[in-house]
Structure 1
Amino acid sequence: MALTDFNQIRRNAHLPARIAAEIGREIVEGRIASGEKLPTEHLLAQTFGVSRSVVREAIAQLRNEGLVETRQGVGAFATEKDRRQMIRVEPADLSDPENFRDLFQLRLALEVEAAALAAVSHTPDDLKRLDEVLAQMTGAAKWTEEGIVADLAFHRAVAAATRNDYFIQFIGFIAERIQLTINAARAKAVLEEIVEVTIAEHVAIRDAIAARDASRARSAMRDHLDGASGRLNLELTVP
């Protein structure tokens, strides 16, 4: 695979989703062959002109879409055609408020229960991962694209803490679509205010999971999603 085939991504783009879309197109159209190893995170980051964490999120999206598989300590590979199970939602589809609303209804169905399950199922390593990404969300990068990447990683970490592969797969699939909602919400409000409110909501989720309080974790995630949808002026019809 020739790295020169890719161009640097515009800084104002939804970075992981755009990178995933470009690599995914190369795989679907056969320019990256089935079973072919992708370049390393370092090389892809250099090529696209982004950080390795952004590339990591893009690869995670492709994995959840069934286009890429990762092998521990080896790297990422294009999935063999007969093993691909692709469900794709293009970023452009979510420019419609109705589609945004549909996404939040799906998130409520999945993530509220995921938080509750994570509260009773998480391991010390899961809690450590939640703390790591929460630290990234609350650090100096919280105002930047890296803060959004950390936000996505938090939701993935909650899914992983369920110890249920299906939650991991389905929440992983919608993680990059969450990025579109985060960007939209940030564009509609005073950045300082919305970032601090969002961080507080995530801290509440983390604390409830750490306390192994399923009811509290469920409520904290519901409060976060209600807050996030409200910041987008969406009225959800989920009971």
Structure 2
Amino acid sequence: MAAVGRGRCGPTRPQGPRACQPGGARGERFRFPLDLLREERYKAAMAVRLSDNQALRPPRGYPEQLAALLSRQIASGAFPPGTRLPSEAALAARYRVSRSVVREALSQLKYDGLLVSRQGFGAIVVGSSGRRSFRVAEGSRLKPRELADIYEMRAILEAEAAALAALRRTPAQLRGLSACLGRMARAVEAQTDGTRHDVRFHRALARMSGNRYLRDLMDYLHSRLFQVIQTARTHSSRTSGLPRLVQKEHEAIFAAVAAGDAEGARRSCLAHLENAARRLGLARGRREGARRGSGSHA
């Protein structure tokens, strides 16, 4: 019988020639084929269907995904205001998740103002009119159409923030914006990641607008889109000359803000964000709404 003991491979396992791999990192242990098979079966079992075209996707975010699904169903009228949601046990069975996942998802919807709890009745739908919060999933988990909508909203809000910044900026704020721009330029020259400085530049613009609600909303959006912005900069770095072009777009925004040119700041920021969406393959096009309205497919 093979010896059983505790070595640097971790928990007790039969010791054999493949139990420890030479040269492995400290703390790592050999993954037995049976372990891998069980893991794959677990992942397959957890990717359960929520509807005809939706599924919870492992390995994380089940409560957030379930909350998003129920929120969409409430918005679509599947659960009208005043309707009592099925019990936690019924929802858990329907979507094949644990009751703790359902409980956390419902708590999120209650916090958002979409549900209320009534003793003896359970969770009652309030509807979108009761919404108290604004949520955006992490950029890496957004669908292309959702991300296109976010970038369109960014263009609308940030262009106006830049225009206000041109009118309201202080000398200290302008120096801070210039410092962000300089760090971005050095990252371009050194071919290093300048995402952090890029995000700080745009957050600084929102703060310079002097509108605290606009500032807080843009801070939230940028925190959710950090990975998307980083991906865009990485893709740009693979095209010769494109990082410098992106840098010039930021420089144009700064120049207009520094000159107190509100209209120039608005135009420069709008052009930059439209270009950023296009570089990500998200450009919606100015004629999309007209095509839908006219039924034209030209």
| TM-score between both structures, scaled by the size of structure 1 | 0.59
> Cα RMSD between the aligned structures?
2.7
Contact kept in structure 2, 1:93 and 1:99, CA below 8 Å: no
Name the residue aligned to 1:129: 176
Alignment map for 1:36-55 (pairs within 5 Å): none
**Kept after mapping to 2: 8 A contact 1:116/1:213:** yes
1:3-152 equivalence runs, <5 A: 87-91=134-138, 94-140=141-187, 143-145=191-193, 147-152=194-199
- In the alignment, the residues of structure 2 paired with residue 217 and residue 122 of structure 1 have an alpha-carbon distance, to the nearest angstrom, of 12
C-alpha contact (below 8 Å) 1:143/1:191 kept by paired residues: no
Separation of aligned partners in 1, 2:269 and 2:199: 14
Deviation at 1:109, TM superposition (A): 1.8
Give the 3 Å change call, closer, same or farther, for CA 106–154 of structure 1 in structure 2: same
- Mean Cα deviation higher: 113-122 or 100-109: 100-109
The match for 2:258 is 210
Tell me how far apart the structure 2 counterparts of residues 92 and 138 of structure 1 sit (CA, whole Å).
Answer: 25
Q: Which amino acid aligns with 2:276?
A: A
> Relative to structure 1, is the Cα distance of residues 238 and 227 closer, same or farther in structure 2, using a 3 angstrom cutoff?
same
- Maintained 8 Å contact 2:156/2:270: no
Determine if the alignment matches structure 1 residue 197 to structure 2 residue 197: no
With a CA cutoff of 8 Å and minimum separation of 6, indicate the structure with the bigger relative contact order: 1
Number of aligned positions between the proteins = 157
| In structure 2, C-alpha distance between the alignment counterparts of 1:175 and 1:139, rounded to whole Å | 22
Uncovered stretches (5+) of structure 2, i.e. residues with no partner: 1-131, 288-298
Give, as a single letter, the amino acid of the residue that structure 2 aligns with 1:128: R
**Higher helix proportion, which one?**
1
Match of residue 274 from structure 2: 226
Structure 1 residue aligned with 2:218: 171
Name the TM-score, length of structure 2 as normaliser: 0.48
Contact 1:112 1:222 in 2 (8 A): yes
**Aligned residue identity for 2:171:** P
Q: Distance in 2 between matches of 1:234 and 1:224?
A: 13
- Which amino acid is 1:115 matched to? A
Offset at residue 179 of structure 1 (A): 2.3
1:153 to 1:92, Cα distance in 2 relative to 1, 3 A: closer
Cα distance change of structure 1 residues 173 and 122 upon mapping to structure 2, 3 Å threshold: same
Alignment partner, residue 4 of structure 1: none
